[in-house]
Amino acid sequence: MEANNERVVLITGASRGIGVGLAEGFAVPGARLALTARRRTSLQETCRRVEALGAHALPLALDVRRLEDMPAVVDQVEAELGPIQVLVNNAGVNIPRPAEQVTEEQWDEILDANLKGAFFLTQEVGRRMIPRRRGTIVNVASAAGLVAREERAAYGSSKAGMIMLTRVLALEWARHGITVNAVAPTFVETDLAAQTLDRPGMREKILGQIPLRRLATVEDVAASVLFLASPQADFLTGVVVPVDGGATLR
């Protein structure tokens, strides 16, 4: 497998939170990163950080719910940067709601972004990796896909689906030399998690459920993704790493 600074890496949801940390983690000198978000303009800061670290950044608008846009985006990445060696499915949304209050529109928004979009983008990239007989895919799932969490009926279902998708693709595509793994973080200090963490008493409650007594950081998640995408993980596939401080132990 190519050294990190020779690989082309496609990262979705790269405009904030975990996505920014992932982009910075992959941004070794000479790396070629394709970064996507719903709006290309929202990637300006991420691109600045990546290029300051010596990597090349290609910002691209991609709403992962718009399946019809995926072929053109992947074509552009491979035309401008070269064959995609690593895909990181990070884009996702969450709308915390009690189960009885979830609307069909909210359910569809979460499942379309977190699971359906991730599958069809992976399919688009995977079809190109298969004849090359190499490739690395890392999915950003969630601890909410491993254990039940309140107000996560749709989100937890989408992430549990992503975990099973990871395993099925790992099984099907191993014969093509493609590895498929996932990380499953607990609450991470991001704007997305703030929807829950900023409620009165919630931070303390959540910390009480994590044996290591702290939340995950963007850097914690990025470190695990980087390992799974590295040559050191070449013999791992179908693995789900719980980046959760022990939260899913009980």
Q: Which residues are catalytic?
A: 155
DSSP helix/strand/coil, 233: helix
As a whole number of angstroms, the distance between CA 133 and CA 53 comes to: 30
State phi, psi for 3 to the nearest 5 degrees.
Answer: -65, 160
Contact partners, residue 163, CB within 8 Å, separation at least 6 = 139, 141, 145, 146, 182, 184, 240
Element (H, E) at 94: none
Q: How far is CA 17 from CA 145, 200, 239, in A?
A: 19, 22, 23
Phi-psi region of 139 (alpha: psi -120 to 50; beta: other; left: phi over 0): beta
Please tell me what DSSP assigns to residue 115.
Answer: I
In this structure, are residues 213 and 203 in contact, taking their beta carbons and an 8 Å threshold? no
State phi, psi for 137 to the nearest 5 degrees.
Answer: -125, 130
